[in-house]
Structure 1
Amino acid sequence: MNATFSDAPRGHAATLAFCRRAAGPGLFTLALLALLPADGARAAEPGTAGDSAQGETASPEITNEEPQSAYLSDWYNQNVTVIGSKNIRFGPQQIDDIYLEYEFFGRKGPLDLYGYIDVPKVFGIGNAADSGAFDDGSPLFAEIKPRLSLNELSGRDLSLGPIEEWYIAFNWIFDWGHNSDNRQNTLYAGLGTDIDSGTPVDVSFNFYGRRQWENYGASNEFEWDGYRAQLEYSLPLASFDNGASLFYAGFTNYDFGSSLGDDNAFRTNEAVVATNAFVYSFTHLRFLAVARYFHNGGQWNDGSLLNFGAGDFTVRSTGWGYYFGVGWQF
């Protein structure tokens, strides 16, 4: 079972994109500012020559070229990161892995986009329960989280109390396993919001219904099954004289209303995952550390006794997992 930072069995690079905001200084704007080099300010406003007697400019305005951006796009942000994960609890057995991730995010018009693509166990390093691209595991794991701003689509101010912006929100997760019993295809669909917390902390809340297709052979395949409440929060922590910045981003997913555990004592109808990520970032180079708490991760019942043919083992789906990574932003 593979997956990454948002809700699946693999961990993903904590990024400056978790709680994108459309209005005001918001997280996405702060993220872009954090990524800019210290000397990346705009050129000074050009001066003009003396005016003529008629009040017209006597000579053409002198202009300076804007400094070239350090990144390929002014809105579509990308990075490639090597991630090591430990004690990841989305499946019945804990996973340790070193894998490669391509991550992207940005805001353009009404579209608020986040996503990533993982290549599991690409370096051939992992524990006994881990499999990936080259040993009959998943060659690819992807998650895409688009949100469409209802404020911008309608051209109206739809703010309500502390809710600044409303979205149509989606979260699609796909694990390309080598057969249907090793594949996940899940769509979460619902409403999203950006919330004014009254503090420096940026907050977003999304509420989804879950449409399940393949799910590693589980009994809830090919049906609507349950809901997810997702709270996202973030805070820039510090800037340093060496041009680096330190950033915190986190989120909590609460899955409930499922029927998966109704007829299976090994599974549960509820699960919680709480993620805390710290990113130390230069213009291109970045380092990340993530601590994630699982409660019945992947809707596996903690403490259950299972046997997949290699002897009995106890499910440990509740507890902490960790991710560490080194990446390049471009």
Structure 2
Amino acid sequence: MVTDRTSEPGGAPSPLRQPVMTRSSLLAALGVVAAALVPLQAAHAQQSADEESAAPVIEQETPAEGPTSPEQTADSPYLSDWYHQNLTAIGSKNIRFGPQQVDDIYLEYEFFGRKGPLDLYGYIDFPKFFGVGNGADSGIFDNGSPVFMELEPKLSIDDMVGRDLSVGPVKEWFVAFDYIFDWGHNTENRQNTLYAGLGADFDTGSPLGLSLNLYKRRQWENYGAANEHSWDGYRAQLNYSYPLGSFDNGASLVYVGFTNHDFGSDLGDKDPSRTNESTVATNVLLYQFTHLRFMAVARYFHNGGQWNDGVTAPFPDTHGDSFELRSTGWGYYFGVGWQF
């Protein structure tokens, strides 16, 4: 998650807005996330029944070993047996995708699931939806971006060719995409980026879910940056999740994480305030019931948004003063949502 704003003073591009939970709500990032988010209380109930030798319990599917979301039974409490959704109010602090740190409170609609060869993840953000943010923040109601979205579909190569292509620890191969769109009010405040490549899910022999995607980047609009309308660089994306436990009150606790490393760009060669590489590592704790869920996120940025940490920005801040770019450090998110 990030925040779009109106044009920075001096005609500088708006900062990039990105998901918290990328693939999240840092769910992301990911089929891995999707599996981790499926409620675990059914398994807990079954275990209790076995221990007490009680009457048989109708079993529901629980997360399998893979990163994809299992289909629910006919008794599923959700609207779809494979397409899972949630709506979350998120507060963010010290987000470093742009030249200035952004604080924002916004609304996010998130969706994910697996059906046939399609493994889908995505979200739509409505920036500054509640009218709260710092001076660098703008959004849907104050001439900022009304919508920021990310769509991450993967197509199973194994399913499409009808063969098991697993080898070693790799249990499934994918054609993977990551499309990011920020609908700024003009081209200087808009992003339009496609990552395309290959993905793999791994068998870890444990409850740990693990996947890796390698992308090449096609950059169209990018807030007026010098790499617009070009093929510019690559991204390595590692996604991981681990169920931490379930509780007597029906809640479950899940850790979800993902790391994006962008490299091989030429942007830093064209602009000394930018870099050719950038890394963002996201760590999420999800405490959730069947519908209600709580999210806490710590995200580490290294040259977030490919801004060169420590150099003087080539444009003034919102007060007309010069400032130093602070694109390396921690940012935080907290959210309350409803799964349906």
Give TM class, smaller chain: 0.7 to 0.9
| 1:197-236 matches, cutoff 5 A | 197-236=204-243
Out of 258, 279, 289, which is 1:251 matched to? 258
Match of 1:48 in 2: none
Q: Aligned with 1:228: secondary structure?
A: strand
Work out which structure has the larger RCO, using CA pairs closer than 8 Å and 6 or more positions apart in sequence: 2
Whose Rg is larger? 1
Q: Relative to 1, partners in 2 of residues 1:164 and 1:133: Cα closer, same or farther, differing over 3 Å?
A: same
Give the drift of 1:9: 3.8
2:17–2:182 Cα contact (<8 Å) kept? no
- Residue 11 (structure 1) aligned with residue 20 (structure 2): yes
| 1:106-117 matches, cutoff 5 A | 106-117=113-124
Match of 1:308 in 2: 316
In structure 2, stretches of 5+ residues that fail to align are: 5-15, 50-55, 60-72
Question: TM-score by structure 1 length?
Answer: 0.86
* AA of the residue aligned to 2:76: S
Please list the CA deviations of residues 216-257 of structure 1 after superposition, one character each: whole Å capped at 9, or x if unmatched: 000000010000001111100010000000000101111000
Q: Aligned with 1:262: secondary structure?
A: helix
Q: Relative to 1, partners in 2 of residues 1:153 and 1:226: Cα closer, same or farther, differing over 3 Å?
A: same
2:36–2:256 Cα contact (<8 Å) kept? no
- State the distance in 1 between where 2:58 and 2:272 align: 67
Please list the CA deviations of residues 128-149 of structure 1 after superposition, one character each: whole Å capped at 9, or x if unmatched: 0001011111000000000000
- State the distance in 2 between where 1:226 and 1:148 align: 23
Q: Aligned with 2:136: secondary structure?
A: coil
Q: Relative to 1, partners in 2 of residues 1:115 and 1:29: Cα closer, same or farther, differing over 3 Å?
A: closer
Match of 2:332 in 1: 322
In structure 1, stretches of 5+ residues that fail to align are: 22-26, 46-65
Match of 1:34 in 2: 40
Q: Relative to 1, partners in 2 of residues 1:272 and 1:320: Cα closer, same or farther, differing over 3 Å?
A: same
Match of 1:131 in 2: 138
- State the distance in 2 between where 1:37 and 1:195 align: 23
- State the distance in 2 between where 1:276 and 1:202 align: 14
- State the distance in 2 between where 1:152 and 1:176 align: 34
Give the drift of 1:264: 1.1
- Residue 299 (structure 1) aligned with residue 303 (structure 2): no
Question: TM-score by structure 2 length?
Answer: 0.83
Give the drift of 1:18: 4.1
Q: Say how many residue pairs are matched.
A: 302
Q: Relative to 1, partners in 2 of residues 1:96 and 1:31: Cα closer, same or farther, differing over 3 Å?
A: closer
Match of 1:49 in 2: none
Q: Relative to 1, partners in 2 of residues 1:142 and 1:30: Cα closer, same or farther, differing over 3 Å?
A: closer
- State the distance in 2 between where 1:77 and 1:35 align: 17
* Identical aligned residues as a percent: 64
